């Protein structure tokens, strides 16, 4: 779950996954990622025909997380008067 501000209104965005066709130790045929906010939702199948999730997609998610963490670090520095 991700919380963010938009136009001074606090909005919660949720990200959920659904594994379809999986049971026990069997991998899912489809992994659906859904982004929800108070107004809408977007669902997307992130698996390829071979049931794998693209390494590039996984790396893009890692890169996004690093970018967001870096941003939060900058905000922390600003809030605490830290400069380099």
Q: Does the model's pTM come out above 0.85? A: no
- Would you give per-residue pLDDT tens digits along the chain (84 residues)? 555 555 555 667 899 999 999 888 999 999 999 999 888 999 999 999 999 999 999 999 999 999 999 999 999 999 999 876
Please report how many Cα atoms fall inside a 13 Å half-sphere around the Cα of residue 14, on the Cβ side.
8
Same-domain check for residues 58 and 44: no
What are the tokens at 52? 């794998």
73 and 43 assigned to the same domain:
no
- The answer on 24 and 10 residing in a single domain is yes
4 shares its domain with 43: yes
Query: In the prediction, which pLDDT does 34 show?
Result: 95
Q: Are residues 23 and 60 in the same domain?
A: no
Total count of domains within the chain: 2
Q: How far is CA 44 from CA 9, 16, 30, 54, in A?
A: 27, 11, 10, 13
Domain of 16, in residue numbers: 1-48
Q: Are residues 41 and 1 in the same domain?
A: yes
């Amino acid at each position: 779950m991700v919380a963010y501000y938009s136009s001074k209104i606090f909005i919660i965005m949720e990200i959920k996954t659904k594994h379809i066709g999986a049971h026990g130790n069997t991998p899912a045929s489809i992994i659906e990622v859904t982004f929800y906010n108070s107004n809408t939702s977007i669902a997307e199948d992130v698996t390829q025909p071979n049931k794998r999730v693209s390494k590039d997609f996984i790396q893009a998610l890692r890169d996004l997380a690093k970018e967001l963490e870096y941003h939060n670090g900058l905000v922390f520095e600003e809030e605490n008067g830290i400069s380099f």
